[in-house]
Structure 1
Amino acid sequence: MNKTSILTDNASGSFAGYLYQFEQGLYSLLLLEDPKGYLSIENVDDVATHNQDGTVLFTLQAKHSISQNGSTFPDNGYGLWRTIEIWLDKISQGIFDEKTKFICATNKPIQKEALVVRIVNSNLDDAMSLIAEKKQSLLDKKQVNASQGESYKTADKILPIINRVLNSKGLFETLHSNLELRDEPNLKERILNKLLLSGNSLSELQKNNVYQALLGWIQEICLYKWRNGTIAVVKKEDLDQKYQSLINSPSIIKAIFRNKADIEVGNEEIEERKNELFVKQLQDIDHNGDVKRRLIKKAIEDYIRYEIEHTYIINQVGDFTKKDFDQFIGQCQEKWQDTFDTFITKELDDYSDEEMNSKAIDIYNYVMQKLEMNFQTDHSFNINNIYIKNGGFLKLSNIPEIGWHPNWEKLYKN
């Protein structure tokens, strides 16, 4: 089961917004040209970048929405006006100045008729006029509501901020002169372009590995510093070093399959597979009860993950085709046959039941734990993606085209 499937919409939105803040942080850090510059998160603002002397180069308020039709900086939205208020406060405190860029960042396109767009595209006087018009429309609406015995809480919340803007033209001029919008629905593509990973030299999965590794790296740094009561700061030169280590890492560049931890398998899915033939083959092997339960559970997980990743790679990633997986399954059958022929050296009638059971355990354990093979010619398996190799053998044993018990054809194939 997907993690987000058990979350409420509010919880999902909050979590997505939390991750989005780090994504904006990564992109912002990539925009820095000075290797001595740095990124801060939840310090002077949601996201900010600084020169090495601490001067704020730009400050960013990140608004994220998971709603298909959602908007993040609406004209009457408290988030927009609260953002402006925060920036005015920090301009007055000297934290931001006329060199600071102020960025409203969102994953949703902002319509050209939106107030914030018109403010950005207007000169100072026209922007002040637009804000004054917004004040009047709120007052008119508030008066209409009052005549009907209703309150207008939106106006009550944002009118004080609007009044402050209108009474602080000098402060607002500093903000307005450097106000920008970053409404990018697919920030990941921008990040990959900035990393020079937009070409065809790496597969989509490899690009995603680099992206996820950098995003996770920034999160880990920030969480560690927050837990220790320090400011979450990430240096540009550290990002550059981390990136170079990633693109030269065999685990990143040679990885074509997702880590098993990224593919969740729920208890319900495990239960649904317990009547499959590949499970029966394992159930029929005499084994210690606890060992057998763990062995079957792991086998079902590997089988499910193989099916999920097989579909994902073919339909979404596009780096490999069904033919590639069919060829891999063919290699698995050949490897199994070699293993089977190595362990079964006598005629089947010459083995006792106990010896056959022992051979079945040996064959299964060798294939699953010790047998080495690649996907195609140069993509090896590791502890995180071994489910692909093992899932291929389990799939064959479910047809069944292979088996573990020496008498598998008599027991299962017929």
Structure 2
Amino acid sequence: MTGKPHTEKTSAAGTIAGFDYQYYYFLYKLLTLKKGETIGFELLDDVHTQLDNDHLVLIQIKHTIQRKVDGTTANLTELDPDLWKTLHNWSAVIKDRNDGREHPAEQKAFVEKTSFVLATNKSFSSTNDFLSNLSKFQDKTLKFENIKKYLIGLRGSAESEETQKYIDSVINLDEPVLKEFLNSIKSDLKVDQIIEKCKTALEEKDVNPKSIDSLFNQLDSVVRQDIFLNFSNSKKLIYTFEERALKFRRYFAIANNPELKIQKFDGGLPNSIEEQIFIKQLLDIEDIDLSEQEIIQNYTRYRLMLESNLSKWVEEGQLTSEEIKVFEDEIFRQWETEYRSSYRRKDNPDEYIDIAHKILKAMRDKELSISGQKLLSDMSHGGLYSLSNKPKIGWLKNWEETYK
């Protein structure tokens, strides 16, 4: 049996990867945009930038999921369909009469203030004579007559009629226009790990290293939503440097000021406040009694303040759920050490309340921190009350039998 199954033939994996690659290349260019520049997505080209000297950069983006035997991406070949389709598209843009470029003089003027960039994850190959000859022509070591002769010969060696047509569209440009065009073509090859390039761009902006991943995820989400909303409403997607700065400024400010902002808890308290498990535990070891309603309410607020802040920090991307787990695990380990050592060789139930008090006091005296930031005592105590309310920790020797 040979060939691929039908399901593999119809898989959209390559198309999806190609679109995402184009999007992340755009995001990378957006993050590295300079003052006075603008950038657009799927407007004048896959991506385009307008520089502050009124110079236009048109970027065609091509992606491949094909790999060589050594696992690296496939090469950009001399007759690569991606290469010649791109050059054909640009030739059509240059000659676009609907954009006021019917005559060679208008076409030459357009090319003189435009750069044409092919960006791809494909690799450079020393056997790609087109790129080699193009480089020589741009370095003035190869005459125009020779590179045009090479292009004509390349057209003759192309087996695909479509590729022949694409090469023809380039060769048939008016000679002064073709000279300018060949001088204006650039390639951005082997652009792999594009997401990491975006994160490196953030790092180069002196973003706190601990905040880079969360900042990237936030900006990624914001830009994707912009694309969806603009395209859904048939609007153009263009960012100026100033618009990008305004939209992203707050996210960068949060990333560069990683200190967690603690908010007091102003919400309501549970109806049956004495029925909370952590309150029952404190009542049973006589740390409080039912007449001390104000203290019971305060302890409840400490718990709810801790839990509400943790929830807010995760929602806002200031903490991850993994960091919260590390925080809770650290409380558990400290409690476990106190609990095991305090009850070691203690078998007299009459001593258990006093021992429980000592464990609770020892834990209340500890300075707890989360993600390297020390917590105030009410938040630290709130951490104890939260875990004993779940309940993951307790004070009496038989706490698990009683409260779980």
TM class by smaller structure: 0.5 to 0.7
- Is the Cα contact below 8 Å between 1:328 and 1:375 reproduced in 2? no
Partner of 2:156: 136
| Structure 1 contact 131–166 (Cα < 8 Å) conserved | yes
Q: Which residue of structure 2 aligns with residue 58 of structure 1?
A: 57
Q: 1:328 to 1:407 in 2, by over 3 A?
A: closer
TM-score, reference length from structure 1: 0.55
Q: Indicate the RMSD between aligned Cα atoms, in angstroms.
A: 4.5
**Separation in 2, partners of 1:162, 1:80:** 10
Aligned match for 2:81, one of 73, 78, 81: 78
Relative to structure 1, the CA distance from residue 131 to residue 212 in structure 2 (aligned partners, 3 Å threshold; closer, same or farther) is farther
Structure 1 CA distance for aligned equivalents of residues 12 and 397 of structure 2: 53
Cα distance, 1:61 vs structure 2: 0.6
1:16 aligns to 2:17 (yes or no) = yes
Going from structure 1 to structure 2, the CA distance change for 1:329 and 1:90 (only over 3 Å counts) comes to: same
In structure 1, what is the equivalent of residue 45 of structure 2?
A: 45
| Rg (Cα) greater in structure | 2
Distance 1:33 1:247, change over 3 A: closer
Provide the C-alpha distance between the structure 1 equivalents of 2:42 and 2:230, rounded to a whole number of angstroms: 12
Residue 102 of structure 1 aligns with an amino acid whose one-letter code is: F
**Aligned letter for 2:332?**
C
In the alignment, does 2:193 pair up with 1:186? Answer: yes
Q: In 2 relative to 1, CA 248–33 (structure 1 residues): closer, same or farther, beyond 3 Å?
A: closer
Q: Which residue of 1 aligns with 2:116?
A: 102
Q: CA deviation at 1:103?
A: 0.6
Deviations 1:172-221 (A, max 9, x none): 3232111111122234454445445376x723x52122233333322222
Question: Within 2, Cα distance between the matches of 1:57 and 1:379?
Answer: 51
The amino acid across from 1:78 in the alignment is: P
Aligned residues with identical type, % of pairs: 19
Secondary structure, counterpart of 2:236 in structure 1: coil
Counterpart contact for 1:333–1:393, Cα < 8 Å: no
TM-score (norm 2): 0.56
| 2:379 is equivalent to residue 378 of structure 1 | no
Query: 2:349 & 2:239 partners in 1: Cα distance?
Result: 65
Q: Secondary structure at the match of 2:131?
A: helix
Give the distance between the partners of 1:173 and 1:11, measured in 2 at CA: 39
Q: Secondary structure at the match of 1:249?
A: helix
Residue in 2 aligned with 1:28?
Answer: 29
In structure 2, the residue matched to 1:197 is 204
Counting only pairs closer than 5 Å after superposition, residues 164-313 of structure 1 correspond to structure 2 as 164-168=169-173, 169-183=175-189, 184-197=191-204, 202-203=208-209, 205-249=210-254, 253=258
Cα 1:27–1:409 change in 2 (3 A) is: closer
Q: Is contact 1:92-1:171 (8 Å) kept?
A: no
- Give 5+ residue unaligned stretches, structure 1: 1-6, 143-154, 256-307, 314-323, 340-346, 350-372, 381-388
> What SS is found at the alignment partner of 1:67?
coil
Contact 2:155/2:167 (CA < 8 Å) preserved in 1?
yes
Q: In 1, distance between residues paired with 2:43 and 2:81?
A: 21
Cα distance in 1 between the residues matched to 2:43 and 2:19:
15
Q: Determine the C-alpha separation between the residues in 1 that align with 2:44 and 2:34.
A: 20
Where in structure 2 are there 5+ consecutive unaligned residues? 1-6, 102-106, 138-143, 261-319, 340-347, 351-367, 376-382
8 Å Cα contact 1:34-1:236 kept in structure 2: yes
| 1:16 CA displacement | 2.1
Q: Give the aligned residue type for 1:38.
A: T
Q: Give the Å deviation of 1:227.
A: 0.6
Secondary structure of the corresponding residue to residue 239 of structure 2 = strand
Deviation at 1:64, TM superposition (A): 1.5
For the 8 Å contact 1:221–1:234, the answer to whether it is kept is no
